[in-house]
Amino acid sequence: QLQLHESGPGLVKPSETLSLICNVSGDSISSRSYYWGWIRQPPGRGLEWIGSVYYSGTTYYNPSLKSRVTISVDTSKSQFSLRLTSVTGADTALYYCGRHGYFGVRGPYYLDYWGQGTLVTVSS
């Protein structure tokens, strides 16, 4: 059974960099059939896709965050990571990692597995 687990600091100061890791277990992060993504949800609000990465390092980013976001993959550690620079209070959210299906046409697709999420608060 696939499991994803987010980890990282729960508190980040304004203007600093938010860094999270998603550990993947129960399946190969190097599979050609999946992308791996980050999604966030501000408290009491809806879902926002941040971006996704393929095992090869190919990435897709949300243009609204693109200038501040880097998503990378480390297949040797079976993990992928999120870096978000110059954070503000608007970046306070529950951050989820997830797995996207993909079979090569207009991907990545829907998210079939999600981590439990990690709350990141931006505050001094």
List of residues contacting other proteins (CB under 8 A): 46-49, 60-64, 96, 98, 100-101, 105-112, 114-117
Beta carbon nearer to other proteins, 32 or 45: 45
**Closest distance to other proteins from the beta carbon of 2 (Å):** 12
Beta carbon nearer to other proteins, 105 or 124: 105
User: b vs e for 24-58, b when ≥16 Cβ sit within 10 Å of the residue's Cβ?
Assistant: beebebeeeebbbbbbbeeeeeeeebbbbbbbeee
Cβ 48 vs Cβ 39: under 8 Å = yes
Cβ 46 vs Cβ 103: under 8 Å = no
Beta carbon nearer to other proteins, 1 or 88: 1
Beta carbon nearer to other proteins, 76 or 110: 110
**Closest distance to other proteins from the beta carbon of 75 (Å):** 23
- Cβ contacts of residue 2 below 8 Å, gap of 6+? 24, 25, 26, 27, 99, 113
